[in-house]
Structure 1
Amino acid sequence: MSTDQRAVEHGWLADLRASLADDFATQTARLRELTELNADTGDPGEAHNHAALLAVTRRHLEQITGALSRIADGSYGACERCRESIPAERLEVLPHVRFCVPCQEKHKG
């Protein structure tokens, strides 16, 4: 890999890290807000929606934390199953993705 390619990759990872850190802060604030919101209306539908929002927010935080950890340890962009590189296009769409498409299909299979 040339020096220019490394610089571009480093810049892209720095931008991604900053974006993920912003997303982490946003999701943390959302989780805090949802946790503090304890208005029991007696409506089971509302309780279900609240629980679902909490679960989704926690999952987003886990995904962001995982991506930040992989960036920090240098494994970001490698499939966790086959260790092949995940295409940049896939990472751009799903920055928290852990598997390449073939392995993701086997994992969910």
Structure 2
Amino acid sequence: MGTDIRGGLDQQWLTRLRATLTSDFEAQTARLTELTADTGDPGEAHTRAAMIADTRQSLGQIGDALRRIAEGGYGTCERCRTQIPPERLEVLPHARFCVPCQREQG
């Protein structure tokens, strides 16, 4: 799991996560490049626009998570400042809020 005995996030886990997120960021960047360069069927323009928006959102979330890791704030809820459970981070590595605060965000 991703915690150490002090209840914080394990550094080895964070190192692996950083590598995974960096790889995901690179893959999403390549996907965005392909999508924006595609001049295919004009009938698919709406679908392509949605895919571009989704890819940009993913890039933003991954970039924000990498920034929080670099700054030492990863895994801390941005609203209540409590630690986000590692199980949530395993499922949603870009989570910015604990579950109760996320519910309040809407």
Give the TM-score normalised by structure 2.
0.90
CA RMSD of aligned residues (A): 1.4
Q: Which residue of the partner structure matches residue 47 of structure 2?
A: 49
Deviations along 1:2-44, whole A, 9 cap, x unmatched?
A: xx748x81100000000000000100000000011022x342x
Q: Which residue of the partner structure matches residue 80 of structure 1?
A: 78
Aligned counterparts of 2:17 and 2:82: Cα–Cα separation in 1: 20
Q: Which residue of the partner structure matches residue 36 of structure 1?
A: 37
Letter in 2 for 1:56: D
Aligned length: 101
Structure 1: which 5+ residue stretches go unaligned?
none
Give the TM-score normalised by structure 1.
0.88
2:10 match: secondary structure: helix
Determine which structure has the larger helix proportion and give its number: 1
Aligned counterparts of 1:38 and 1:100: Cα–Cα separation in 2: 41
Q: Which residue of the partner structure matches residue 98 of structure 2?
A: 100
Q: Which residue of the partner structure matches residue 24 of structure 1?
A: 25
Aligned counterparts of 2:37 and 2:5: Cα–Cα separation in 1: 46
Q: Percent identity?
A: 58
Cα distance, 1:47 vs structure 2: 1.3
TM superposition outliers: structure 1 runs of 4+ over 2 Å: none
Cα distance, 1:48 vs structure 2: 1.1
Aligned counterparts of 1:5 and 1:67: Cα–Cα separation in 2: 23
